[in-house]
Amino acid sequence: MLKSLVQNSLKSFSPSTSAPPFSPAQFDADVMTTYGRFPIALTRGRGSVVWDDQGRRYLDFVAGIATCTLGHAHPAMVEAVTKQIQTLHHVSNLYYIPEQGALAHWLVSHSCADRAFFCNSGAEANEGAIKLARKYAHTQRGIANPLIITAKASFHGRTLATVTATGQPKYQKNFDPLMPGFAYVPYNDTAALEALVAELDAGTPQVAAIMLEALQGEGGVCPGEAAYFQRIRQLCDETGILLILDEVQVGMGRTGTLWGFENLGIEPDIFTSAKGLGGGIPIGALLCKAHCSVFEPGDHASTFGGNPFACKVGLTVCETLEAENLLGNVKRRGEQLRVGLQRLVQQYPTLLEQVRGWGLINGLVLRPDSAIKSVDIVKAAMEQGLLLVPAGPQVVRFVPPLNVTADEVQQALMAVEKAIAIATNP
């Protein structure tokens, strides 16, 4: 009898199968305008393909901006999500969480880190890194007013601390007073960095950390130079400065190695991960070596960070990367994509300047004097059934799922070639 009552009750509260048609006007009336949205509404996806509410198909070379590691509706993720939501989805960090421990163990076993802290996003992970570096500076080096050096054209998040760390004034406009304790240098400029450290640390040490991306994503898909990063590592070892690497966009296999810094032949003291870690489910991680693991109970926390649901999905993404040998696929498909894009550079020498990137994060760079901008190519590609994303006004970014196929890369190259022809001859 009770079972029958429950079943009837659930039926009476089941959602309607006929949802009202989507209304962009109603959306814009209800949702803050923090994004300049393209005029399509995506409703479902599978693999590297998504469909909009009109049934139109698109190749997804945005992947949630380097987030959908395994594409859409991957069977391993579907199974993990289904089982975990039916088992236990959230408990407080006041208790041990086995799924959190398993994910932490995988991450430290597959990196130079010794400890992990979990949160919900890349900005939160970078906030944690900033706090960790400041506490280390105060407690281990006796620095009263610690400074963190970051790079111009960097991107580290949208919170007040991370937007201050971001070396792009356009993201900081109208949000002052910004967080104190940051200084900026040009990316890949060893002399400028050495000079700033010498200036800031003249007499009394002030520099707590140097915080960089192994490859600047939002800054235009600009790879780091190995000699630059190796000199920074040496400088940090000589001075006690911590090296923090923001792996939010380039980590989790995106560059063809598990971590972006592996392309540079160095190890950081602290690094952060998010985006691809959860394959589209929100999760972030702050990872560090033992010597700078100075957080104590009460120093830092996150209500949702490290919950069973997000950690189970994150672990599934990690294990699938290995099981499907996706790092090998990233290298092969990335090379295929760069070769095809380079051919377009040769075909349109007055429009296109170069191709930059590693693995499956690549930028097609427009010439500074080009009559069109990256967004023009993105819009034209959308009309050809290909989703791309700008990385500034002069760079078109390609960040497909890591299991994208050779045929899909070829389709994307054909679509972008048509898009360029349309954008240049409207």
Tell me the mean pLDDT in the region 32-57. Answer: 96
- Which helix (H) or strand (E) segment holds residue 357: the answer is strand 352-358
CA distance 80 to 323: 15
Q: What CA–CA distance (Å, rounded) separates 422 from 426?
A: 5
Report the pLDDT value the prediction gives residue 11, as an integer from 0 to 100.
Answer: 42
Confidence (pLDDT) at 16? 42
Question: What's the pLDDT score for residue 21?
Answer: 84
| Cα distances (Å, whole numbers) of residue 264 to 102, 223, 251, 288, 351 | 28, 10, 13, 18, 31
CATH 3.90.1150.10 domain residues, the chain: 18-73+326-424
C-beta of residue 52 within 8 angstroms of C-beta of residue 61: no
Q: Find out whether 267 and 107 touch, Cβ atoms under 8 Å.
A: no
Half-sphere CA count of 117, side-chain side, radius 13 A = 27
Q: What pLDDT does residue 1 have?
A: 40
Residue closest to 306 by CA, chosen among 287, 321, 285: 285
Counting beta carbons within 10 angstroms of the beta carbon of residue 127, is it exposed (0 to 12), middle (13 to 18) or buried (19 or more)?
buried
Q: Are 161 and 133 in contact (CB under 8 A)?
A: no
pLDDT at residue 416 is higher than 80: yes
pLDDT band at 226 (very low <50, low <70, confident <90, very high): very high
379-391: average pLDDT: 97
Q: How many other CB atoms sit within 10 Å of the CB of residue 289?
A: 18
Question: How much of the chain exceeds pLDDT 70, in percent?
Answer: 95
Inform me whether the pLDDT recorded for 56 exceeds 80.
yes
Which of 58, 143, 122, 42 has its CA nearest to residue 282? 122
Give pLDDT, residue 262: 98
Which amino acid type is present at position 115? R
- pLDDT (average), residues 5-13: 39
Please determine, for residue 157, whether its predicted confidence score (pLDDT) is greater than 80: yes
Peptide bond into 177 cis (omega under 30): yes
Q: CA 57, CA 407: separation in Å to the nearest integer? A: 16
d(CA 313, CA 68): 12
pLDDT, residue 128, reads 98
Q: Is 18-73+326-424 a CATH 3.40.50.12240 domain?
A: no
Is residue 243 within 8 A of residue 268, CB to CB? The reply is yes
Whether the Cβ atoms of residue 102 and residue 311 lie closer than 8 Å to each other: yes
- Amino acid making up residue 137: A
**Residues forming CATH 3.40.640.10 domain(s) in the chain:** 88-323
Phi/psi for 390 (5° steps) reads -70, 155
**Helices 326-347 and 308-323 meet at what angle, rounded to 10?**
70
Question: Which residues contact residue 412 at a Cβ distance below 8 angstroms, ignoring those fewer than 6 apart?
Answer: 59, 61, 337, 386, 398, 400
The confidence score (pLDDT) of residue 18 equals: 53
pTM of the entire predicted model:
0.94
Evaluate whether 57 touches 72 at the Cβ level (below 8 Å): no
Confidence of residue 283 (pLDDT cuts 50, 70, 90): very high
pLDDT at 19: 60
pLDDT band at 3 (very low <50, low <70, confident <90, very high): very low
Query: Residue 262 in contact with residue 295, Cβ under 8 Å?
Result: no
pLDDT band at 6 (very low <50, low <70, confident <90, very high): very low
Residue 313 CB contacts under 8 Å (≥ 6 apart), including other chains: 77, 80, 81, 84, 278, 279, 281, 283
What CATH number was assigned to the domain covering residues 88-323? 3.40.640.10
| Banded pLDDT at 203 (limits 50, 70, 90) | confident
Cβ 361 vs Cβ 373: under 8 Å: no
pLDDT-derived band at 282, boundaries 50, 70, 90: very high
* Span of 21-30, 81-90, 111-120, 143-152 with lowest mean pLDDT: 21-30
Tokens standing for residue 11? 């039926």
Do 378 and 297 touch, CB atoms closer than 8 A?
A: no
| Mean local confidence (pLDDT), 291-300 | 97
The residue whose two tokens read 């429009």 is 351
Predicted pLDDT of residue 2 = 35
Phi and psi based region of residue 178 (left: phi greater than 0; alpha: psi -120 to 50; beta: remaining): beta
| Residue 330 near residue 188, CB atoms below 8 Å | no
Q: Are 424 and 372 in contact (CB under 8 A)?
A: yes
Q: Parallel, antiparallel, or unpaired for β 270-273 and 284-288?
A: antiparallel
Predicted pLDDT of residue 4 = 45
Instruction: Tell me the average pLDDT of the chain.
Output: 94
